[in-house]
Amino acid sequence: MAIMSGRSHQGRLPPLSTGESELRDRLRGHVEVLSGQIGERNTRSLPSLREAAGYLTTAFGALGLAVREEPYRVEAGQVVNIEAQIRGSALPGEIVVIGAHYDSVPGSPGANDNASGVAAVLELARTLRDARPRRTVRLVAFVNEEPPYFQSESMGSLVYTRRAKERGEKIVAMLSIETIGYYSDRPKSQQYPASLSSFYPDTGNFIGFVSDLGSVNLLRRVLASFRKSTPFPSQGLAAPGGITGVGWSDHWSFRQAGYPAVMITDTAPFRYPHYHDSSDTPDKLDYDRMARVVGGVVRVVEEL
């Protein structure tokens, strides 16, 4: 296990800038459509899953980005991963993937898990399209991350990485945006797997950066970049993949293919009382803090 060096932001958060306030409102709008209007999104509710896919395709297209759908079939019918791409200005053959899953667990409208992550990906696309990143950036909305597909052959991100590997693509980094909308300033609001509880704070006011040991170099780089640019509490962990929670998102699929990958998360069930529940609704999220985190991730990606 590797505990990250460096200092997390402490003290009061600065007021939101005008740009951050506008970002907050757009994030809220995406979450309200995906979770509040469309609701539960999975193969048990296939029309809603397809409606969500249509919303994402339209949103990427409205930004002027080329959109590619990657369909495949499961027992319930055809499903799709959705990708938008920004070509790199200096190293176009090297690819940075920013991804989030757009499905929700059966029985939940999935506001935090994971409309929050998908909203972030859409807004990262909006900002990065004009930033001329050095490397090619792919913004991907993955299907079928949740059970019963999690870590199975039909998991959307696993299908994606296997096809990327077959094409010989050079993916140099992957960031998985997973449940980033819930924060608490209350002591003892944050839990951990037993092996980690003595190393980290018990207040759930931070954003977490998590990887297995094989991606520790990427994790250190990402966390250092976030802390340099963003006045927001952060914690980092690189640990064996077998530790509970370390592989709980689409970054797991990229690690199976040997690509370096990091999860960015509010830690989901270790903090969020509405995890995988019908009560995971848009009103539970802290959009001010979400906007701060997404703004910080923009600056991280610009430096990758």
Give per-residue pLDDT as tens, 90-128.
999 999 999 999 999 999 999 999 999 999 999 999 999
Whether residue 162 lies inside any domain: the answer is yes
Total number of residues shown for the chain? 304
pLDDT over 70, % of the chain: 98
Residue pointed to by tokens 């293919």: 257
Whether residue 78 lies inside any domain: the answer is yes
Cβ pair 178, 114 in contact under 8 A: yes
Residue 183 banded pLDDT, cuts 50, 70, 90: very high
Whether residue 4 lies inside any domain: the answer is no
Whether residue 1 lies inside any domain: the answer is no
Label residues 110-147 b or e (16+ Cβ within 10 Å = b).
bbbbbbbbbbbbbbbbbbbbeeebbbbbbbbbbbbbbe
Residue 198 clears pLDDT 90, i.e. is over it: no
Task: List CB contacts of 186: < 8 A, sequence separation 6 or more.
Answer: 203, 204
Domain harbouring 231, CATH code? 3.40.630.10
Tell me the whole-structure pTM to 2 decimals.
0.96
Whether residue 9 lies inside any domain: the answer is no
Whether residue 7 lies inside any domain: the answer is no
Residue 4 clears pLDDT 70, i.e. is over it: no
Domain containing residue 148: 14-303
In terms of Cβ atoms closer than 10 Å to its own Cβ (0-12, 13-18, 19+), residue 162 is middle
Range of lowest pLDDT (56-60, 74-78, 80-84, 129-133) = 129-133
Residue 172 clears pLDDT 70, i.e. is over it: yes
Whether residue 3 lies inside any domain: the answer is no
Whether residue 182 lies inside any domain: the answer is yes
* pLDDT tens digits for range 211-257: 999 999 999 999 999 999 999 999 999 999 888 888 999 999 999 99
Number of folded domains in the chain?
1
Q: What pLDDT, on the 0 to 100 scale, is given for residue 132? A: 87
Structure tokens at 300: 């991280």
* pLDDT tens digits for range 122-151: 999 999 999 989 999 999 999 999 999 999
Residue 197 banded pLDDT, cuts 50, 70, 90: confident
